[in-house]
Amino acid sequence: MRIKLLTIISFPILLIYSNALAQWLPDSSADYHTRRGVDFIYGMQFDSARSEFQKLIKINPSHPSGYFFIAMVEWWKILIDPDDKSSDGRFYSLLANVISICDKRLEANPNDVTGLFFKGGAIGFRGRLRVHREQWLHAANDGRLAIPIVHQAYKLEPDNIDVLLGMGIYNYYRDVIPNEYPIIKPFVILFPPGDKMLGIQQLKQAADQAKYANIEATYFLIQLLLNYEKQYSQALPLALKIFKKYPNNPIFHRYVGRLHVALGRWEDVQKVFSEIINRNSNYQNGYNHIVLREAYYYLGLNYFNTSMLDEALKNFYKCDELSRSLDMGDQSGFMVLTNLKIGMIYDLQSKRDLAIKQYNKVLNMTAYQNSREQARQFIKKSYGQL
């Protein structure tokens, strides 16, 4: 639910942000430092990214771009560990500074394109974090505030390939999500209708041709092809492409692994998630316990599907142990499905009493997918006998 609301509230945000990517830069030197800084962000080199954006500020202290992208460094730190709230205060403060700088420009000229773009982006990312923190009303209000900025910005800069990132995201998710999740229709009723197929087309064009937004467009394409369209064979080359460009990015790395899982490419699953565990062991930036838990789960699933049950149990036990420390509120899908799989393995090992205990645990956990239905089914009849 939180992810769906994040996407909805991000509609106007992303429209503004993709425009900003194409319009912010005062000169070629700023373009150079921006590109380097963005590359450093995707490469998890946050100190280097911050240094590049400080150079942007030095070039033009009254321009909001450097301040905005320093805030984006904090955003990615949050993104790789969203349960850690230690960076929230700094992130909000950095965004407030961006908004203040933009307001000064807009006071002098209400049609200042740069001011509109970066003010909208700052409000938008503030809303995105508020969604992560389940501050629904504040987040929805940030989305509302961004809408008039969107309209004004488009009137000023209607033609731009990079704009297709935001347009594509809007058209796709505005069409798809309310139909799949009717409960959130009240959050989008005031937004114009979308067009799913047009959205996909726009994202593909942005991924291929956009100057600044190509990586973000590719990233969103991967997500929708995996999670909604189930077009795994189309998504995998895209994931491999951006991971090849940014081989130290744990989020891109995980998407490569997830798509191998979806395609049943178990040898590749083993290779990818074993490498993720190795990077965690070497304390590589971004490869934290959240990433490690996912790796143990999918390795366990790989061993389960190849009937290596003892190895599967070892990995599922580790996933369960990490989940107990990571899950602050409701149990995660990893924890629920791990405990279900452990019960299924016990059944296959003729440990029926232990299996039933696992299924009862699952019944007392947060429902995830059809976990409770499966647990009840396996209590009635052993998994190995189905």
Is the confidence at residue 187, as pLDDT, over 80? no
Measured in whole angstroms, the distance separating CA 204 from the mean position of its chain's CA atoms is 18
Q: Render pLDDT for 230-264 as a digit per residue (tens, 0 to 9).
A: 999 999 999 999 999 999 999 999 999 999 999 99
Does the 2-229 domain belong in CATH 1.10.760? no
Amino acid at residue number 211:
K
Q: Render pLDDT for 73-115 as a digit per residue (tens, 0 to 9).
A: 999 999 898 888 999 999 999 999 999 999 999 999 999 988 8
pTM for this model (two decimals): 0.88
Short-list 24, 27, 16, 30, CA closest to 163: 16
Q: According to the model, what pLDDT value does residue 71 have?
A: 96
Its CATH architecture, for the domain 288-385, is Alpha Horseshoe (1.25)
- 3-state SS class at 312: helix
Same fold for the domain at 2-229 and the one at 288-385?
yes
Q: Render pLDDT for 39-64 as a digit per residue (tens, 0 to 9).
A: 999 999 999 999 999 999 999 999 99
Q: Render pLDDT for 27-37 as a digit per residue (tens, 0 to 9).
A: 678 889 989 99
- pLDDT over 90 percentage in the chain: 65
Reading the block at residue 290, the tokens are 């959240």
Short-list 17, 12, 16, CA closest to 190: 12
Dihedral of the CA atoms 177, 182, 187, 192 (nearest 10)?
A: 60
Q: What is the DSSP letter of 79?
A: H
Amino acid at residue number 309:
L
Q: Where are the domains of the chain?
A: 2-229, 288-385
Q: According to the model, what pLDDT value does residue 270 have?
A: 98
Query: Please, which residues have CB within 8 angstroms of residue 372's CB and are 6 or more apart in sequence?
Result: 362, 363
Beta-strand (E) ranges in 73-194?
none
